[in-house]
Structures are given as C-alpha cells and as structure tokens.
C-alpha cells in the first residue's frame, strides 16, 4: 500500500465572483462537504452560509441557505492540536444529522449550547446507516423512523458562548431570509433566548 500522503490543509475553493479571503479551516470544511458528499450530487444546489467546529473533536455544523448539517470527519479529530499530522487526500465525511431550516420552530442558546427544535413532518432528520459511495466518501443511508415523533431536538455544543450566540444569530437570519424568499408553508420561529 505504501505510505499515506497527507495534506497540510483542505483545499480552498475559489470563485471569480468573490474576493480572496484569508484561509479558514471552517470555510474549507463547509465547502468540501458540499462538494464531496455523494460526489457533489446530494448538496450541489446548497449555498454555504457558515461552518463552525463543534466541541466534540472532528465534528462540525454546516449551515446552508436551506439545511443544517452535523458532520463528522475522523481525519480532523486532532485539528488544532500538536499531534495533528494532516488531512488524508480523500477525507471521509459522515453526515450525522440533516435538518431542513424550514422545519425549525424554536431555537435558543444556553451558554455554549444552541438548542434547535423542529417539526419532524418537515424535517430531513432520519435514522441512518453508514455506507461508502463509489469515491470512498462515507455517507449515511437515511431510513424513515418506525414511529415518527411530531418534534425533534438537536443540541449543538460550540467552543464558546460567543460562538454559540454568533451561530444562533446567523441561523435566525438564514431562516428569516428563507421565509422572505417564499419557502411555502413555514413555521413561525420562536423568540431568541440568550442567557
């Protein structure tokens, strides 16, 4: 098999329409997820709004104009630590949770944790099984739950209270923008509670 080649960092995807900005691991992770999961087919129409590291090592939350994705990447577990050796050429992205923004009916923050409550009738959250697609990207196969509950709750633990509050503000802004663009039958989002 030979030695494994590692990248110093994930590639930075450039656009002719956007100015060149300083490198950001979180932006690189968010863009890589949208371009690489399911060979770029599953999330090809999604526009990255924000990506943030979660407190759980190797986990990220990716916010697009329509979705919240909780992603795990085993090759990024040591990111930011002295023992981090680099990123494998083709990292395995595991989509652990996928939530439609239009299903969110309440969101608040408590310290470092963002709580998101949504209606499962509109959500994309599913029980899952792992599999690999033909390019080796680790994916989850979504299965309908046996007894769907009317509501679901997702908790995102970020690195700090400030990061959690910032993520919540951006999330609420993305939801408002989606409603303005006419999602259709959209639930009213509950007031923010920042403690």
Report helix, strand or coil for 7.
strand
Residue range 66-86, pLDDT digits in tens: 999 999 988 888 777 788 887
Any bridge partners for residue 155, and if so which?
115
CB atoms within 10 A of CB 98: 20
> With pLDDT > 90 as the criterion, what percentage of the chain qualifies?
34
- The confidence score (pLDDT) of residue 139 equals 47
| Structural domains for the chain | 6-14+21-180 (2.30.29.30)
The CA distance from 95 to 146, in Å, is 20
Residue 158: exposed, middle, or buried by beta-carbon count in 10 A (0-12, 13-18, 19+)? buried
Confidence of residue 3 (pLDDT cuts 50, 70, 90): low
- The confidence score (pLDDT) of residue 5 equals 75
Kindly list the distances between the CA atom of residue 85 and the CA atoms of 4, 82, 137, in Å, as whole numbers in the listed order: 11, 8, 20
- The confidence score (pLDDT) of residue 183 equals 67
């Amino acid at each position: 098999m030979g030695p494994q080649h590692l990248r110093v960092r994930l590639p930075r995807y450039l656009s002719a329409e956007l100015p060149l900005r300083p490198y950001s691991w979180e932006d690189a992770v968010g863009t890589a997820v949208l371009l690489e999961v399911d060979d770029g087919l599953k999330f090809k129409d999604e526009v990255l709004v924000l990506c943030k590291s979660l407190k759980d090592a190797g986990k990220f939350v990716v916010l697009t104009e329509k979705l919240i994705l909780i992603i795990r990447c085993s090759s990024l577990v040591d990111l930011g630590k002295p023992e981090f050796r680099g990123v494998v050429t083709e990292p395995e992205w595991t989509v652990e949770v996928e939530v439609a923004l239009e299903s969110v009916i309440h969101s608040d923050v408590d310290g470092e944790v963002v709580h998101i409550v949504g209606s499962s009738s509109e959500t994309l959250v599913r029980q899952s099984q792992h599999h690999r697609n033909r390019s080796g990207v680790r994916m989850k196969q979504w299965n309908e739950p046996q007894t769907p509950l009317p509501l679901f709750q997702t908790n995102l633990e970020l690195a700090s209270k400030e990061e959690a509050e910032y993520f919540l503000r951006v999330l609420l802004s993305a939801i408002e923008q989606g409603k303005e663009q006419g999602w259709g039958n959209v639930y009213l989002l509950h007031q923010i509670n920042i403690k």
